[in-house]
A and B are shown apart, each in its own frame.
Chain A
Amino acid sequence: MQATFLWLLSSAATAGQLTTNQYGAELHWEDDYVPFQLNPGGKHGLDHDEIESVVVEAAEQWRGIDGSWLELSYEGRTEAETYTSGDGVHAVFFVDEWTDNPDLLALTYTYSYEDGAISHFDIAINTDGHSWTTKGSEDSNDLLNALVHEFGHAVGLDHSSDTEASMFSQTSVGEVAKRDLAEDDVLTYATLYDGYFPYPEASMGCSTSGGSNGNGSSVSGPTGAGGGAYSPFDSSAGCSLVGGSGQMVALFAGLLVAFRRRTEDS
């Protein structure tokens, strides 16, 4: 029994990392509604409508995780093209004159408060010497492949050492394998958002008492970081009370992904 339990825990371990800010706090969204916009302009030669579709699809990868309460919502086009929090627009934009290191394909800029709560993000795509494709061309960088990765940063994930994960730090021209989230991405996401459910009692209609946050303390409602153990993956039950740890939630998420992949393969 003990061996089984240990195996379960080790199986749920992720190669993915969470991003921390300069205060050491894990970045996370506390608002469930996160709007973003697209500035499709730039010398990339891509069709603006196709870019728009790709951007929405990339965000949908994270938004579409079963039970995820984080709603990345596309709000149309913008003229914004700077990584500043002052404009109030969470923007995806292209940079024709890239001043950071030319080896970079894209950068995600994330503003946060001391407790790690994200207040703003922007995603910059480098078109200065890098070609992009929305059609999976082998001789260009795939925009969807890259944006799934960058939106992962925007929700608080750092890089993963799992080479199959979308959050793996490196890519190559023509790669499309990271368009879909891997198990490790979902597990890491679950670890991060296990404790951040904004409206559990009102919207889920269940009691939260008696749960555990994985640190041995009782949970009596949603809190911020390190709070309740709501599973973002248990949507079918109407409420997502989990009496175990975040690792068990992550394990469930991993099994769900594995099951889906098998179903798709068959």
Chain B
Amino acid sequence: MLLSLSLLGAAQATVFVSHLDLDEIADRADQIVIGEVSEVTSRRAPGGIVTEITVDVFDTLLGTPATELTLTLPGGRVFGETLTVSGVPHLQVGHDLLLFLEDSRPVSFTQGIFFTDGEYAYGPEQAPVAMEEVRRTVR
């Protein structure tokens, strides 16, 4: 448990934006899903680099049921050039996520992105939350 906490602690938080607690994040979300990152692809975009993260959805807790969704986050790696955007976590294939989405984007930049080990969810600048509690709160 300590190991996973320290590893997940490396996930970055939001960028100089007002902090939302879990209830506020959940209130703003129109879709809440649990899934696993299945593909990460960076590409050049006007002005920089963006990364598309495909998530295989296991469970939809709120909103339109989905089996797969794609997040587009700023930053990424293309041909050896790396763009790092403060506050954006480096998501990798295999990461298990709890996602709070608003208009198909994570709530409040990356505050809506939580890592999960199945038992707990770990969000940026948040105390670990039991997944059972998340499910109870949402449903």
Least Cβ distance of A148 to chain B in Å?
Answer: 10
Find chain A residues with CB under 8 A from B13 CB: 159, 169-170
How many residues of chain A get a CB closer than 8 Å to chain B's CBs? 36
Find chain B residues with CB under 8 A from A108 CB: 15, 85-86
Contact of A101 among B42, B46, B75, B109 (CB under 8 A): B109
Distance A100 CA – B109 CA, assembled complex (angstroms): 8
User: Which has the most chain A C-beta neighbours within 10 Å: B10, B17, B46, B90?
Assistant: B17
The answer to whether B16 touches A105 (Cβ under 8 A) is yes
Say whether B74 faces chain A, with CB atoms less than 8 Å apart: yes
The answer to whether B84 touches A110 (Cβ under 8 A) is yes
Contact of B17 among A17, A83, A105 (CB under 8 A): A105
Find chain A residues with CB under 8 A from B75 CB: 22, 109
The answer to whether B14 touches A170 (Cβ under 8 A) is yes
A139-198 interface with B by 8 A CB criterion: 146, 149-150, 153, 158-159, 161, 169-172
Distance A171 CA – B83 CA, assembled complex (angstroms): 24
Contact-residue bracket for chain B: 20 to 34
The answer to whether B12 touches A170 (Cβ under 8 A) is no
Find chain A residues with CB under 8 A from B76 CB: 22
Residue of B at shortest CB range from A106?
B16
A91-136 interface with B by 8 A CB criterion: 100-101, 103-114
Residue of B at shortest CB range from A21?
B82
The answer to whether B77 touches A109 (Cβ under 8 A) is no
Least Cβ distance of A151 to chain B in Å?
Answer: 11
The answer to whether A110 touches B83 (Cβ under 8 A) is yes
Find chain B residues with CB under 8 A from A17 CB: 10, 12
Contact of A170 among B19, B42, B84 (CB under 8 A): B19
Contact of A19 among B16, B48, B84 (CB under 8 A): B84
Say whether B87 faces chain A, with CB atoms less than 8 Å apart: yes
Say whether A85 faces chain B, with CB atoms less than 8 Å apart: yes
Distance A215 CA – B91 CA, assembled complex (angstroms): 30
Residue of A at shortest CB range from B108?
A103
Say whether B23 faces chain A, with CB atoms less than 8 Å apart: no
Contact of A82 among B19, B47, B90 (CB under 8 A): B47
Say whether A61 faces chain B, with CB atoms less than 8 Å apart: no
Distance A22 CA – B50 CA, assembled complex (angstroms): 12
The answer to whether A112 touches B109 (Cβ under 8 A) is no
Least Cβ distance of A124 to chain B in Å?
Answer: 10
Residue of B at shortest CB range from A105?
B16
Per-residue interface assignment for chain B, residues 2 to 19, with 1 indicating a CB less than 8 Å from any chain A CB and 0 otherwise: 000000001011111111
Find chain B residues with CB under 8 A from A27 CB: 84
Find chain B residues with CB under 8 A from A149 CB: 16
Least Cβ distance of B8 to chain A in Å?
Answer: 13
The answer to whether B74 touches A107 (Cβ under 8 A) is yes
The answer to whether A23 touches B16 (Cβ under 8 A) is no
Distance A153 CA – B13 CA, assembled complex (angstroms): 13
Say whether B125 faces chain A, with CB atoms less than 8 Å apart: yes
Find chain B residues with CB under 8 A from A114 CB: 80, 82
Least Cβ distance of A138 to chain B in Å?
Answer: 16
Distance A114 CA – B78 CA, assembled complex (angstroms): 11
Find chain B residues with CB under 8 A from A159 CB: 12-13, 86-87
CB<8 Å pairs between A and B, sample of 28: A17-B12, A19-B84, A22-B75, A22-B84, A82-B46, A100-B74, A101-B105, A105-B17, A106-B15, A107-B86, A110-B83, A110-B84, A111-B81, A113-B80, A114-B80, A114-B82, A149-B16, A158-B12, A159-B86, A161-B125, A169-B13, A169-B19, A169-B87, A169-B124, A170-B18, A171-B17, A171-B18, A172-B18
* A-B CB proximity, top 3 nearest: A101-B109, A153-B86, A82-B47
